[in-house]
A and B are shown apart, each in its own frame.
Chain A
């Protein structure tokens, strides 16, 4: 690989508090050689390939902490190839993949398979998760130590919650010794039974079983109480309500250490968007009120929420073309993650730097991976985008194998122009 120099970019890298116009020089090993306004001509070799990207912004390649790839078992929904295409078109270069495949990733042979398969088929950095409990059934913990040794980044039962408090306390206790990351989905099953939407006037009108945000809050409260006894690396996958945020605030001020994520959907949509039974907006946790949405934005501003995820869940049309209560849960979103997040900048909800932080260095720190940064010597994973470019989301143009986007026809501003992985241009528009 020859050296590259990307010129005239506005570079935003929260990991080194950088927001300046300058150049990025990538060495022939695909690492950042020099970056910023102070790059010197002497740093550039004569054979270097020069790409002028004036008017665009460069950020570290996005780290998406929650995406589902259909392999193995659900190849008809998504595979490594299609997920890669969607991710790179969205500026995402590192993906934490969920273990709720078929079979479930809860043992070392599955890990070997998924890592080999990903290496061969995915042209993106993959960080696989294993389940916390066997078969995600919430009864018995998986082999954290062995799985970690084989390359598992963290543990998650995805959209399932450990209900058993004793087991949860043991998981935390055991995990703390191995320094593994436990990612919990917060939902009390007794309270959320057969629900498919936020408990609200909307649920009453649509005649659907609602779930109160107490179902989320109560698990967060429980887990954070346990965490004060058994400190481990604990992450709340996605929160959705103001009430949960208050619990997080209280615990953070008491010095409890943990991290929190939010789905871009809960930041950009609310329960009214469901309209007359739009099943693509059936999500978990559900979309809640506008008040909740605004409080989540405040949560990001106040550093109570660390990470924004796509919660990319590809579902085929058949699983969604059902009465609302029966329809599958989730929407795709990895390709639109950045553009939809930029909407929060354009409508003055969040500063740009904060959004980028939640998409890059924050998740990288939680995962303890050397990504999400453009510091000298790090991998040249880059997302380059045009902040102003207007476009309209059309499902048929999205690269994901499944087309269940929650934001069909949404007018967005800001689109990825180029994505680099280890210094190579892997997507360009």
Chain B
């Protein structure tokens, strides 16, 4: 079994990881530093540590998820925790059990960590008030997805060396996106300049107050950007008509090689997945290993989640 030097936990760390909004710059940096140590481990042939041996991690997923769920699953297992994944989208809740009751039931089994994904904003906050263990937010409604933002930051640092001074564009369905919100907070904290680009109907109210410049024109919004983060059109969260058609959306907001040229020459492309090819992104561009960081994002996601589990597990 591989071993790693023990890094002391965050001093006075909040017990839960509920969102980037609740983090200090130092806490965010600590997580990223810690995550770097796991990148190499994850690429080696022996990936298992015993840092969380004897700990129980429950992944409570109320929304379907592929990469986040499997990433947390692997991260826990690689640290030696006992991991149980509960797919709640067709479970007790359908029988009328409330989130709190589910939480109390699980709490009685003495888990050390609960990783929660929920369709309602604020569900992890509510959960954290009712259980004795650490709660890690794996995405709540349209509010926050902190580990996604952290893995995006790690991916950028891995390629560009630093985030400070970079200009980052986030494009697409900002309104429904928790990834956008978490990234706005984190990239701002780490010293980047953030542009958001979206059609007006998908731009949330008062977004500028979160510390970004808002654009409705890709050409202007991408100007001078080092990183282009594309977001998925979240059709499942859309009630009613926000856009005339996917075709029109692609025409104005879909990322194509031509539009990417508005950004800096060495600009890199990111996407939290899953991608709607031909809707928000040109399919060839998505697979272009020279510009697309999509696979790296997934890879480093495991390292970031290992860091979070380690640092937040008491």
Same complex for A and B? Answer yes
Chain A interface residues toward B at CB < 8 A: 193-194, 199-201, 203-208, 210, 212, 276-277, 318, 321-326
Q: List 16 A-B contacts (CB under 8 A).
A: A199-B205, A203-B204, A203-B205, A207-B140, A207-B181, A212-B205, A277-B121, A321-B98, A321-B126, A322-B100, A323-B120, A323-B121, A323-B122, A323-B123, A324-B120, A325-B120
Nearest CB in chain B: distance from A196 CB, A: 10
Chain B interface residues toward A at CB < 8 A: 21, 98-100, 118, 120-123, 125-126, 140-144, 178, 181, 204-207, 209-210, 239-240
Instruction: Pick the most buried of A207, A318, A326: most chain B CB atoms within 10 A of its CB.
Output: A207
Contacts of B118 in A (CB 8 A): 323
Interface of A is mostly: loop
A326 to B21, CA, bound (A): 23
- Check B210 against A325 for contact (C-beta < 8 Å): no
Contacts of A193 in B (CB 8 A): 239-240
Given A194-B239, A321-B98, A322-B99, A204-B206 contact (CB < 8 Å): yes
A323 to B21, CA, bound (A): 19
Given A207-B121, A207-B144, A277-B125, A323-B205 contact (CB < 8 Å): no
- Check A208 against B204 for contact (C-beta < 8 Å): no
Instruction: Pick the most buried of B21, B142, B181, B205: most chain A CB atoms within 10 A of its CB.
Output: B205
Contacts of A201 in B (CB 8 A): 205-206, 209-210
- Check A200 against B206 for contact (C-beta < 8 Å): yes
A318 to B143, CA, bound (A): 23
Nearest CB in chain B: distance from A167 CB, A: 23
- Check B121 against A325 for contact (C-beta < 8 Å): yes
Contacts of A199 in B (CB 8 A): 205
- Check B122 against A200 for contact (C-beta < 8 Å): no
- Check A207 against B126 for contact (C-beta < 8 Å): no
Contacts of B100 in A (CB 8 A): 321-322
| CB-based closest 5 A-B pairs | A207-B143, A201-B206, A323-B120, A207-B121, A277-B122
CB-nearest residue of chain B relative to A325? Answer: B120
Given contacts A207-B121, A323-B126, 10 further A-B contacts (CB under 8 A): A203-B204, A207-B122, A207-B141, A210-B205, A322-B98, A322-B99, A323-B120, A323-B122, A324-B120, A324-B122
Given A322-B98, A323-B99, A205-B210 contact (CB < 8 Å): yes
CB-nearest residue of chain A relative to B120? Answer: A323
Contacts of B123 in A (CB 8 A): 323
- Check B210 against A204 for contact (C-beta < 8 Å): yes
A228 to B195, CA, bound (A): 48
Contacts of B207 in A (CB 8 A): 204
Nearest CB in chain B: distance from A401 CB, A: 21
Contacts of A322 in B (CB 8 A): 98-100, 126
Nearest CB in chain B: distance from A298 CB, A: 24
